[in-house]
Structure 1
Amino acid sequence: MSDTTEDAKRALRAELRERRQLLSAHAAESAGEQLHARLDELVGRGDIAAISCFLSTPFEPATRAFVEGAVARGIRVLLPVTRADGLLDWAVATEDGDIAEGLFGLPEPVGELLGPIAVNDVDLMIVPAAAVDRTGMRLGWGRGYFDKTIGSMEGCPPVYAVVYDTEVLDEVPSELHDQPVTGAVTPTRILEFAPPAA
């Protein structure tokens, strides 16, 4: 990684993290309700039997109500569990599933772990992001878990990043290992990005 790109990523992440922390509780709650509706709309667009999603932290666009609703409707939801080797295990979300603090203090499910390849069976991936740009490039939070996962999948399903509306940018700094996403879901819209030219 070039020092210039690394510095640009670090600075942008810090700015985005600070913006999220300044969001009022009312604004965050309202955005979470809107996001829930957009995610339901996304899942309703196709024949979706299984998805992967993540459990949001207090400073991320809220996904927990969506996950609970999807499970209640009979959709199989895989939730990520971080591993020390940089890969993700997966656990099936349940209506009364326990949540604990994971490797980096993130909320993660407690229960039987499925290996990294379990995600190959989902019809749709919903991933966290700090920002996305209008070409579909995703800026993550710097640990590379989702870039590794997406980059290693042979038949990768559609991947949508969850961000606030102000986090859809003209451009984000990126490198070769960074993986683009199919689209983004914000509280007010679902965006589709054109696939990169071959």
Structure 2
Amino acid sequence: MKDWKAWRKRERERIIAERMAIPSAQCQKWSAAISDLLQQGFPNLRGKKIGLYWPFRGEYDPRPPARDFMASGAVLALPEVVEKNKPMHFREWWPDAPMRVGAYDIPVPHETRCIQPDVLIVPMVGFDQKGYRLGYGSGYFDRTLATFSVCPITIGVAFEMQRLENVHPQLHDIAMHYVITEMGIFQACRELLRQIPVELCAKSNAVT
């Protein structure tokens, strides 16, 4: 146990440092590619309740495409850590929503209504070939997913430089349904991430 914990800690620190060192122009280019794939591959998000996140430590920023989904009928929500080591709440968010500083100094909506998302756009420190994510080590997303009565569609977003061969998932870890990087859309299929054409993804996630 100590070995994989130590490995995860080292990889987490390495990837975060490398991600934060990405030149701004390169980060913007990769982020624009991810946003385009998210919008083109998931047209059905326009009518969904979408849980996203406030970007932290060089993460991909999901807010620009989320605003476009909201303009087409989606309801957006951001996570709130209510109590340490407990499941998070998702509170409705919009660009002018009242905000406060939450856990880890990340902004969260202030006393807006709680929502159970249909879809989660999930941040990742790293991810592996089976769609498992390496997070910050607190387990909040996996803990929260386990409490939902209906599991939402999970879309992990990251840059290719965050890809790992194996994150050594534990029993409580939950694989993503999809992963999007600047290189394409990948779907977890038979415990293996496989790249799928944008058109096929859009057809599978068409507005109904």
TM-score interval (norm. to shorter): 0.7 to 0.9
Maintained 8 Å contact 1:147/1:179: yes
Change (3 A) 1:93 1:141: same
Residue 181 of structure 1 aligns to a residue in which SS? coil
For 2:103, the equivalent position in structure 1 comes to: 103
Rounded Cα–Cα distance in structure 1 between residues aligned with 2:190 and 2:92:
30
Change (3 A) 1:42 1:88: farther
Shift in Å, 1:5: 1.3
For 2:42, the equivalent position in structure 1 comes to: 43
- 2:146 equivalent to 1:147: no
Which residues of structure 1 form unaligned runs of 5+? none
Which residues of structure 2 form unaligned runs of 5+? 193-208
Residue 62 of structure 1 aligns to a residue in which SS? coil
Change (3 A) 1:27 1:145: same
Maintained 8 Å contact 2:47/2:72: no
- 2:120 equivalent to 1:125: yes
Shift in Å, 1:11: 0.6
Work out which of the residue numbers 158, 161, 178 in structure 2 matches 1:163: 158
Structure 1 moving runs of 4+ over 3 Å? 45-48
Change (3 A) 1:39 1:23: same
Paired letter, 1:96: D
Residue 31 of structure 2 aligns to a residue in which SS? helix
Rounded Cα–Cα distance in structure 1 between residues aligned with 2:69 and 2:45:
14
Maintained 8 Å contact 1:136/1:194: no
Residue 78 of structure 2 aligns to a residue in which SS? strand
The TM-score normalised by the length of structure 2 is 0.83
For 1:19, the equivalent position in structure 2 comes to: 18
Sequence identity (%)? 20
Paired letter, 1:94: W
Q: How does 1:80-95 map to 2 (within 5 A)?
A: 80-85=79-84, 86-95=86-95
